[in-house]
């Protein structure tokens, strides 16, 4: 098994969330809308998702710098983001290393069509649980942020081995919990999550399905 990282946690903690307000806001209907992964999810009302996921220069830069350093990326390195969305992290990485070869997959056509206009690379409409169209070890790094918890267990059984297969290195970030308070907050806040697992369960699944790269967990602290 790889290492526990803390690359995105500081950024996550910088946002304030009203957990009970979301839970009591006709949440089932909001979940259905969010799972369309369209304009409402990305740039509509906050009750359906991000509430406007716009590029803020430098916001993802510390994460980009850490990834380049930790994984020894060089000009020409190949990076795949499974669930890339609008690609803001990839853009920050490409600003630091312009010759990075960027690849991204997402189920959201809207997200892909509204990715950062300066981001260069190969971006495809593709589900995380489907076979990846690249040979073994093709990528220097495969990352996935806030995506895999949206899959069910039998879908994770397909996705995790594929991420391991095509990447020489891996980094996965999922939402999780360590106690009852964080579980409650996660259940209040999450709109698209299908797999509500604690840390030990995620680590067991990684091992069971053959993923041996690095990982990080997002917690919804009180």
Per-residue confidence of the chain (222 residues) as pLDDT tens digits?
Answer: 899 999 999 999 999 999 999 999 999 999 999 999 999 999 999 999 999 999 999 999 999 999 999 999 999 999 999 999 999 999 999 999 999 999 999 999 999 999 999 999 999 999 999 999 999 999 999 999 999 999 999 999 999 999 999 999 999 999 999 999 999 999 999 999 999 999 999 999 999 999 999 999 999 999
Domains and CATH numbers, the chain: 9-219 (3.40.50.150)
CA distance to 51, 143, 180, per residue, from 211 (Å): 33, 12, 27
Of 14, 27, 63, residue with least CA distance to 221: 14
Backbone angles phi and psi of 54, in degrees to 5 = -110, 155
Is the pTM of the predicted complex or chain greater than 0.85?
yes
216 has which bridge partners?
173
């Amino acid at each position: 098994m790889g290492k526990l990282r803390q690359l995105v946690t500081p950024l996550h903690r910088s946002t304030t969330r009203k957990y009970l307000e979301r839970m009591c806001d006709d949440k089932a209907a909001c979940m259905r809308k969010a799972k369309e992964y369209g304009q409402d999810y990305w740039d509509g009302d906050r009750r359906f998702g991000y509430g406007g996921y716009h590029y803020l220069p430098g916001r993802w830069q510390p994460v980009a710098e850490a990834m380049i350093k930790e994984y020894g990326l060089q000009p020409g390195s190949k990076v795949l983001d499974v669930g890339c969305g609008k690609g803001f992290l990839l853009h920050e990485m490409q600003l630091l290393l312009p010759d990075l070869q960027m690849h991204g997959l997402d189920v959201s056509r809207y997200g892909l069509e509204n990715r950062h206009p300066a981001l260069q690379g190969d971006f495809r409409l593709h589900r995380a649980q489907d076979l990846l169209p690249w040979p073994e070890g093709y990528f220097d790094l495969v990352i996935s942020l806030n995506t895999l918890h949206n899959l069910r267990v039998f879908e994770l059984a397909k996705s995790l081995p594929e991420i391991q297969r095509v990447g020489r290195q891996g980094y996965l970030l999922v939402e999780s919990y360590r106690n009852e308070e964080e579980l409650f907050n996660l259940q209040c806040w999450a709109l698209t999550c299908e797999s509500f697992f604690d840390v030990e369960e995620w680590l067991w699944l990684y091992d069971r399905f053959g993923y041996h790269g690095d990982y990080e967990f997002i917690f919804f602290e009180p």
